[in-house]
Structure 1
């Protein structure tokens, strides 16, 4: 029996709307659930006081500092590598087996489980390079994790810049490097920034890599060689050990709000970039 085309279209449309609505409801439920249990715990004292009694009391200030340090180190290391790789792929090479190998490697790296990257970082940075459980070890490991995201988003941003911009520069006698640094990259900057912002969100929410490489010290780190506990690791330990569920929910609320703000910023940058060249 053959369905009427209009009826089948309505059925498919209804199914898609239902699945979309279900996804949104799940997101809303998570946000409301965490907010109801976590926001009452979020006070200035909770945000700016030290951890006490293994997390049963006190606040999360050391975890905020550790998370910021880890994210900053990861961005400082991964951003130049990722953007430079994207520039090389787009501007200095044609499609060949070399570019295919680089893209394939980046895609494979993006698919590696975070627990494997954590183990790799532990063996290389903590043990072999003798950096110990530290902010530097954790940041370097996170930089490997976010590198594929930066490469792919930067590459797509550079590709979106019209070829006419490059041709006009070349016709005026401008060198390739000047064209890239003064025309291509500035116009692709919103798209590049989108990748960097998304990378920040992933770094903030990562647990396994940080647990293996940065450790779980309760003290506020003062140097790159100090161990520290990120917000995600703190939440994981509090919830797993059952030390303090109110503090765990409060930490989860801060994490959720941070990631939501980061995603909104990334979406705004992406919308601006798409609108500029559409």
Structure 2
């Protein structure tokens, strides 16, 4: 029987406890640093926007005059864009996840598709802008309209929904599907009535994350030629448009020449955060409703 030295055991225990405490302190400092930066950023944005957010700013049209500029056109453009991105992304993303998890044969082709979907999530957004410019703007001759922008942004966030939906489908207990098959249900009936309702909270989480990213992206829309200053309000998916992040981007650039544009950019950031908060809140309420049901 091997002799165990109590002193060596105690040294190892002390070393592990010290390592654990150091890791805890390191992670706490990292979290604190992130929160401090976020608070400072929000405080600066809110302070710069004070006195600029009013009814005329919310409901007015875009203008080169800083005192008369409004962002209703950008707000409508953002909402129209999300009306394209949400259904397209959810339909294609969930459909892809169902096929890969329930219908596709496991093998090299399946692994190849899975790897490429994961890689697409890390592709720079401007690459999707080039793809949208080539396919939707030029090949399909849509131009810089809401439909082209929405389809481009849908491609950008599609991998997020696919991966999240796959994980949600995998998390559904297998005995539920087996019980459904035992009752004589077909595969599609099982997916529609058992798997999808149980996986819906996880799927909606992926959709929320994808919309949160899509609403703040600018680079793809810059590539496909979305203007920053647009006087008419968009009224349909084939109208030209601009969105809140685009307006923030160009007002930030122009603030080097006109100081008031920095205040307009800060006020637009506050509005964008409010729009994002409202959209996420509605999506979270819907997700929690289904989560309680299933």
Instruction: Tell me if TM exceeds 0.5.
Output: yes
1:15 aligned counterpart, secondary structure:
helix
| Partners of 1:56 and 1:113 in 2: CA distance | 36
Correspondent of 1:110 among 114, 121, 140: 121
Question: RMSD value over aligned CA atoms?
Answer: 2.5
Do structure 1's residue 177 and structure 2's residue 188 form an aligned pair?
yes
Q: Which moved more, 1:207-216 or 1:178-187?
A: 207-216
The equivalent residue for 1:11 is 22
Do structure 1's residue 227 and structure 2's residue 244 form an aligned pair?
no
Do structure 1's residue 87 and structure 2's residue 101 form an aligned pair?
no
Q: Which moved more, 1:239-248 or 1:81-90?
A: 239-248
Quick one: structure 1 residues 212 and 88, their matched pair in 2 at CA, closer, same or farther if it must change by over 3 Å? Answer: same
How many Å apart are 1:271 and its aligned residue? 8.0
Quick one: structure 1 residues 10 and 275, their matched pair in 2 at CA, closer, same or farther if it must change by over 3 Å? Answer: farther
Which structure has the larger Rg over C-alpha atoms?
Answer: 2
Unpaired stretches in structure 2, ≥5 consecutive residues: 1-10
2:215 aligned counterpart, secondary structure:
helix
More helix by share: 1
How many Å apart are 1:33 and its aligned residue? 1.8
How many Å apart are 1:78 and its aligned residue? 2.0
Q: Which moved more, 1:244-253 or 1:10-19?
A: 10-19
The equivalent residue for 1:36 is 47
Deviations 1:50-95 (A, max 9, x none): 1122666321000011111112112222221110010111112343
Aligned residues: 277
Deviations 1:134-161 (A, max 9, x none): 1111111011001101101111111111
The alignment's TM-score, normalised by the length of structure 1, stands at: 0.90
The alignment's TM-score, normalised by the length of structure 2, stands at: 0.85
The equivalent residue for 1:250 is 267
Quick one: structure 1 residues 95 and 196, their matched pair in 2 at CA, closer, same or farther if it must change by over 3 Å? Answer: same
Q: Is the 8 A contact 1:66 1:228 kept in 2?
A: yes
1:139-158 alignment runs, 5 A limit:
139-158=150-169
